[in-house]
Amino acid sequence: MISNLPMILQVKPQFLRLPQFPILRDSQARVSSSSIVRMSATGYSGISLENIAVKPPSHPTYDLKGVIKLALAEDAADRGDVTSMATIPSDMEVEAHFLAKEDGIVAGIALGEMVFREVDPSLKVDWFQKDGDFVRRGLKIGRVFGNAHNIVVAERVVLNFMQRMSGIATLTKAMADAAHPALILETRKTAPGLRLVDKWAVLIGGGRNHRMGLFDMVLIKDNHISSAGGIIHAIRSVDLYLQQRNLKMEVEVETRTLEEVNEVLQYASQTKTSLTRIMLDNMVVPLPNGDVDVSMLKEAVELINGRFETEASGNVTLETVHKIGGTGVTYISSGALTHSVKALDISLKIDTELALRVGRRTNRA
């Protein structure tokens, strides 16, 4: 039997035995939206968050299990994995290894395990690294053992999450290190439906989370200011709104000029306000030689003088973030962490030795 299988499925005889769990095939591969369990990201059935290296950020309504089910459903649709059903014996068990194909920070290990459990709870997953670890090209990150068909069904969804999250974590780590002593933040510029996943990856990479959404922080931006009739009108309206509803949450206002910074400081000196942070937007000025002028940003930070947290935004890159961090600003936010992510190349292979041999031939192992 083994000799007639394609090379990638030639596995050790001891790995071949009748499975003791149902195979995800044909109609069983369908994911029903009616079975989605509403959950907070602070918990997940079958997995203890106490054992997760970096816990996901909290969100009151985000359905992480539903996101996993949706990802599996868009792959399997109403027919299932026709290629695996045609080529892989239903009773075959294999061991497959995760391989890093480039250097970077690995992330999404905990989420990957959740996907495997969703497809087949009997799959056995062992990790040699943890979320947040630096991995080198060619390194074995972990392995999964069990029914071959179910491993292949889960493979692409697991890798899609892990590659995206690892790319975000890798860039975040580089930016966070360069920004020190300032702290690096992402923004709401995340992939639709993957807000919590993207922000979880930022945490794994050593960054901090900005607000999760529109609900958990007041952020007065340019359009709010224009609609309210000016920056002070906007802040005053927020103060009144929170007071009337007995709400306590962080409040940030976006400023674009030193004049606006002074207006905010004057208001705060005369009025009890809920304001906690001042955003200094586009006060980093790009220069023709590729450098940046941070003198305006530094002056704004000095004007505020620690009375409020400060956040620099705009023209933040890996090349400029160190200079920005040296101005004394508290936070630096970068949409590029999530909206321009380059995925970290990771693969899952049953025939690991062949994969490594091919990888070495193409300088990817």
What is the predicted pLDDT for the residue at 36? 29
Q: Give the orientation angle of helix 195-204 with respect to helix 64-76, to 10 degrees.
A: 110
Question: Among 63, 239, 260, 281, which one carries the catalytic annotation?
Answer: 281
Residue 221 bears catalytic tag:
yes
* pLDDT band with cut points at 50, 70 and 90 for residue 353: confident
Instruction: Report percent pLDDT > 90 for the chain.
Output: 81
Positive or negative, the CA dihedral 295, 296, 299, 304 is: negative
Residue 189 bears catalytic tag:
yes
Question: Among 55, 130, 143, 156, which one carries the catalytic annotation?
Answer: 156
Residue 281 bears catalytic tag:
yes
Residue 309 bears catalytic tag:
no
Residues 211, 331: contact at Cβ < 8 Å? Answer: no
What is the predicted pLDDT for the residue at 187? 97
Question: Per-residue pLDDT for 51 more than 90?
Answer: no
Mean pLDDT estimate for the chain: 88
Opening angle at CA 16, ends 10 and 20, nearest 5? 140
pTM: 0.86
Compute the half-sphere exposure of residue 132: CA atoms within 13 Å on the CB side of its CA.
12
Residue 252 bears catalytic tag:
no
123 exposure class (CB count in 10 Å sphere: 0-12, 13-18, 19+): buried
Question: Per-residue pLDDT for 19 more than 80?
Answer: no
CB neighbour list of residue 351: distance below 8 Å, 6 or more residues apart:
7, 8, 10
